[in-house]
């Protein structure tokens, strides 16, 4: 059931869409956001099936069909804006976005990244945490700014790294936490509790200087 005041959200994906699924599941309850479209840059990915199964409109903007990042981002923004979202959620969306795109959605563009930022921006985060002998790893939700994986972090969840871990077992442990923190951050945003003030996230009007930790909430 969708609340009358639920804000429209567009979710961007590139793959399996388990974070999308966590958001779809959250929206089935009393949730202040409604997913109005799921857009993928890759055809035939599992996440598109998840959206269709939930009755959510889908679109594919295939980045291989565009000559430049700018052309792709312009087409992507054109598609997103048809759904007039109040929030755009990157959920395993594996494209670097142009500054023009990011600025167009500044303050209403969230990303999830599988590391405790600022550690390990970019790819292969789990292997890098293992290679460094980290005892703690995790995931971060941040507002997207023009710096790749460098926007201000709102919320994190940590997991222990076990001696017998490989990148897959560690990724699975992190993913479980991702599925908790993304619906929570989207809820805060949709309730108007989470905003971006210049470069600083505000939760309930208070600056989030150090990322909030799920374990402490």
Stretch that binds ligand GRF, among 56-64, 77-85, 108-116, 200-208 (CB under 6 A): 108-116
Stretch that binds ligand GRF, among 4-12, 15-23, 188-196, 207-215 (CB under 6 A): 15-23
Q: Which positions from 139 through 158 interact with ligand GRF, judged by CB under 6 A?
A: 139
Q: Confirm or reject binding of residue 74 to ligand GRF (CB under 6 A).
A: no
CB 44 within 8 A of CB 117: no
Q: Confirm or reject binding of residue 114 to ligand GRF (CB under 6 A).
A: yes
Tell me whether the omega of the peptide bond preceding residue 37 falls within 30 degrees of 0, making it cis: no
Closest to 7 (Cα-Cα) out of 29, 27, 21: 27
- Pairing of β 58-60 and β 33-40: parallel
114 or 201: whose CB is closer to ligand GRF?
114
CB 97 within 8 A of CB 73: yes
CB 37 within 8 A of CB 64: no
CB 203 within 8 A of CB 154: yes
Q: Which positions from 46 through 65 interact with ligand GRF, judged by CB under 6 A?
A: 47
Could you give the CA distance from residue 212 to residue 81 in angstroms, rounded to a whole number? Answer: 31
Q: By Cβ distance, which residue is nearest to ligand GRF? A: 92
SS3 assignment, position 48: helix
Could you give the CA distance from residue 145 to residue 103 in angstroms, rounded to a whole number? Answer: 7
78 or 120: whose CB is closer to ligand GRF?
120
Active-site annotation holds for 113: yes
Closest to 133 (Cα-Cα) out of 161, 170, 100: 161
Which position among 113, 137, 142, 179 bears the catalytic label? Answer: 113
Q: Give the number of other CB atoms < 10 A from CB of residue 208.
A: 19
74 or 169: whose CB is closer to ligand GRF?
169
Q: Confirm or reject binding of residue 165 to ligand GRF (CB under 6 A).
A: no
Smallest separation, CB 154 to ligand GRF (Å): 14
Q: Confirm or reject binding of residue 177 to ligand GRF (CB under 6 A).
A: no
List 175, 181, 185, 212, residue binding ligand GRF (CB under 6 A): 175
Smallest separation, CB 34 to ligand GRF (Å): 19
CB 26 within 8 A of CB 180: no
Q: Confirm or reject binding of residue 92 to ligand GRF (CB under 6 A).
A: yes
85 or 114: whose CB is closer to ligand GRF?
114
Closest to 108 (Cα-Cα) out of 9, 213, 212: 9
Active-site positions read 113
Which parts of this chain interact with ligand GRF (CB under 6 A)? Answer: 13, 15-19, 47, 91-92, 112-114, 139, 175, 178
């Amino acid at each position: 059931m969708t609340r009358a005041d639920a804000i429209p959200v567009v979710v961007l994906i590139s793959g399996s869409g388990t974070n999308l699924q966590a958001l779809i599941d959250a929206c089935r309850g009393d949730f202040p956001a409604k997913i109005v479209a799921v857009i993928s840059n890759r055809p035939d990915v599992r996440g598109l099936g998840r959206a269709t199964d939930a009755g959510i409109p889908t679109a594919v903007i295939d980045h291989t069909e565009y000559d430049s990042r700018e052309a792709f981002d312009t087409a992507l923004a054109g598609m997103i804006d048809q759904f007039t979202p109040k929030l755009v959620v990157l959920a395993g969306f594996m494209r670097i976005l142009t500054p023009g795109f990011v600025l167009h959605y500044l303050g209403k563009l969230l990303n999830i990244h599988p590391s405790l930022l600022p550690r390990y921006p970019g790819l292969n985060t789990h292997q890098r945490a293992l290679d460094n002998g980290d005892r703690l790893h995790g995931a971060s939700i941040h507002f997207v700014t023009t710096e790749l994986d460098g926007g201000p972090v709102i919320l994190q969840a940590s997991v222990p790294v076990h001696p017998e871990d490989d990148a897959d077992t560690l990724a699975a442990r992190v993913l479980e936490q991702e599925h908790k923190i993304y619906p929570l951050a989207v809820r805060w945003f949709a309730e108007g509790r989470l905003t971006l003030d210049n470069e600083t996230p505000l939760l309930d009007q208070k600056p989030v200087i150090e990322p909030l930790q799920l374990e402490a909430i």
